Amino acid sequence: MMIAYFATGAICTGLVLFFRRKTLSMVIAGLFLAVQLFITLWIIMNRGHQVSLFFELDELSVIFVSILFLLALFMFYHSNRLLSQCNSASCSIYHAGFIALVTSLTGVYTSANLTVNWVFLEATTLSVAALIYHNRTIRALEATWKYVFISSVGIALAYIGILFVSLTLKSALSADMSFSSLGTALQQANPLYLKLAFLFVLIGYSAKMEIFPLYTIGIDANYVAPAPASAFISTAMVNAGFISIFRLYKVYALTPVAAWSRHVMVLTGVVSVAIAAIYMLRVKNYKRMFAYSTLEHMGLAAIGLGIGGAGIVAAILQVLIHSFAKSAVFFQLGQAHRILKTYRIGKTGGYMHIHPAGAIAMLTGTVVLTAIPPSGLFVPEWILFSHMAAAGKWVLFALVVALLTLVIYGIFSRILPLLYMENERTYVDGRYVIPSETITQYFLLAITIALCFIHPDFLYRLIYRAAGISL
């Protein structure tokens, strides 16, 4: 079934690129979404099975493949509005990148082997590049080459880390690179090789998860790409990086360097949140601001992994809810840009008067992303800080709280003028004031708010099992 799915994705991508017809590419992309729905339902129904040596349908796969389909569906909807003004070639390349990216991400989410995971994560690079370069501007070209180059460097570094893992396996007389057996095989491994492998993989995959140190390409990609693509890159793509690091982290929890790897994750997370806080006080562009917000949230997820225990549950929940909230905000930013013709902070305002439905979605999304109740993100952050306090990590507690305070100030000090402050330089294109287009954002934001008050038993069972915590 998985082979048939990947073959279908490859065929659909090839057909779109070969025929290069706007209507045909849209139809093929729509049919592929139907295939994606089928494979999502099949994965849910076969949860807990390892369908081959290379793919496993565990709880983590079920959670994120389900989110992937929903995000892909909404991206397809908003992209079609975007592509209505494009020529056939641009439309075909965009849809080809979209299909290839969704297919590759499904491979990342379901991979049960360290090497297979690396292969599919590498496959996402060119797919994302096709989306970044859609506008064909000099800035888009620069961001695309930067993304391809740094992602390739990151993937190469991760491959070096995988080579160190294979060296330790040879000393353990094992050749199995599956996540399920690596933990046992590496228990007697050379700690130096293990540490080097973890550092190389973490640095390499940080480009995909958008955390320190290779986070910069994600910031530029989200800034340059069309808003629907930015929504997908900052959520589904980032989730792939998180899953890849998390699966290796679970392996390292069984090795002699488990405590060391946790310290590295906490340090990486704190530095990521600190960078996000500093730049969000200086940024002059709304898309860049929310791109740095992704860095902040992934930094918190990294801290959760490093703390362990309930922190892992908080990390998974943080990434899950962030997917809904951030995509909603980026979708609305796309509409705001079409109406106001700029992303520049300070050059526009009065959005609440111009487009009330969109402005309410923007304000709600901002509240949700800052984890202010009734935001669902309040729950994982409450779990995270409660766990810090229970463990006596007061310095870490105070530091992260201070950084998040700066983040909240940075976001609201820029969003409130956009919504309420009248600006004589504001240009409005009334053709794009379409209240019905905000329906997707209200739906996504409703999910995030509901998860603050409703804690579905089936969802938390999946999260706890994915975290390796028995109920």
Identify the band that residue 84 occupies on the pLDDT scale cut at 50, 70 and 90: confident
| pLDDT tens-digit readout, 306-338 | 999 999 999 999 999 999 999 999 999 999 999
DSSP for 102-123, please give it: HHHHHHHHHB-BHHHHHHHHHH
Picking from 314, 462, 297, the residue whose alpha carbon sits closest to that of residue 383 is 314
Distance CA 297, CA 276 (A): 9
Q: pLDDT for 133-192, tens place per residue?
A: 999 999 999 999 999 999 999 999 999 999 999 888 776 555 678 998 888 888 888 899
- For 164, 399, 446, the CA distances from 330, given in Å and listed in that order, are 39, 29, 16
Q: What is the mean pLDDT of residues 109-138?
A: 94
Residue 242 to residue 109: CA distance in whole angstroms: 10
Instruction: Identify the three-state secondary structure at position 275.
Output: helix
What pLDDT was estimated at residue 86?
87
Q: Which whole number is the average pLDDT over 347-370?
A: 95
Coil, strand, or helix at residue 42? helix
185-189, 193-197, 221-225, 387-391, range with the lowest pLDDT: 185-189
- Helix/strand/coil percentages in the chain, nearest 5: 80, 0, 20
- pLDDT tens, position by position, 264-300: 999 999 999 999 999 999 999 999 999 999 999 999 9
Cβ–Cβ < 8 Å for 265, 301 = no
Residue 48 is predicted with a pLDDT of 86
285 by DSSP, 3-state: which?
Answer: strand
Is the confidence at residue 429, as pLDDT, over 90?
Answer: no
C-alpha span between 444 and 329 (Å, rounded): 10
Structure tokens at 251: 């392996």
Query: Is the model's pLDDT at 470 over the cut of 80?
Result: no
Give residue 403's pLDDT: 98
Share above pLDDT 70 across residues of the chain, in percent, rounded to a whole number: 99
- Residue 173 is predicted with a pLDDT of 55
Residues sharing a CB contact under 8 Å with residue 251, sequence separation 6 or more, in sequence order: 179, 182, 183, 186
The structure tokens listed for 373 are 């109740």
Q: How high is the pLDDT of residue 172? A: 58
Mean per-residue pLDDT of the chain: 94
The residues near 122 (Cβ < 8 Å, ≥ 6 apart) are: 155
Per the DSSP assignment, residues forming a β-bridge with 128 are none
The one-letter amino acid code at 304 reads G
User: What is residue 52's predicted lDDT score, i.e. its pLDDT?
Assistant: 81
Choose the weakest-confidence range: 19-33, 77-91, 383-397.
Answer: 77-91
* pLDDT (average), residues 16-42: 95
Its pTM stands at 0.96
Structure confidence by residue, pLDDT tens digits, 292-303: 999 999 999 999
User: Is there a contact between 222 and 233 (Cβ–Cβ < 8 Å)?
Assistant: yes
State the pLDDT confidence band at 471, using cuts at 50, 70 and 90: low
Segment 253-263 shows an average pLDDT of 94
pLDDT digits over 213-225, tens only?
999 999 999 999 9
pLDDT given for residue 331 in this prediction: 97
Q: Check residue 162 and give its pLDDT.
A: 94
Q: Which residues contact 453 (CB under 8 A, 6 or more apart)?
A: 374
The answer to whether the CB of 263 falls within 8 A of the CB of 302 is: no
Per the DSSP assignment, residues forming a β-bridge with 113 are: 178
Q: What's 133's DSSP letter?
A: G
**Contact call for residues 272 and 295 (beta carbons, < 8 A):** yes
- What confidence score (pLDDT) does residue 181 get? 87
Q: Is the CB of residue 364 less than 8 Å from the CB of residue 445?
A: yes
When pLDDT is cut at 50, 70 and 90, the band that residue 233 belongs to is very high
Q: Give CA–CA dist 398/57, Å, rounded.
A: 39
Res. 340: pLDDT tops 70: yes
* Paired strand residues for 378: none
The predicted structure's pLDDT at residue 112: 93
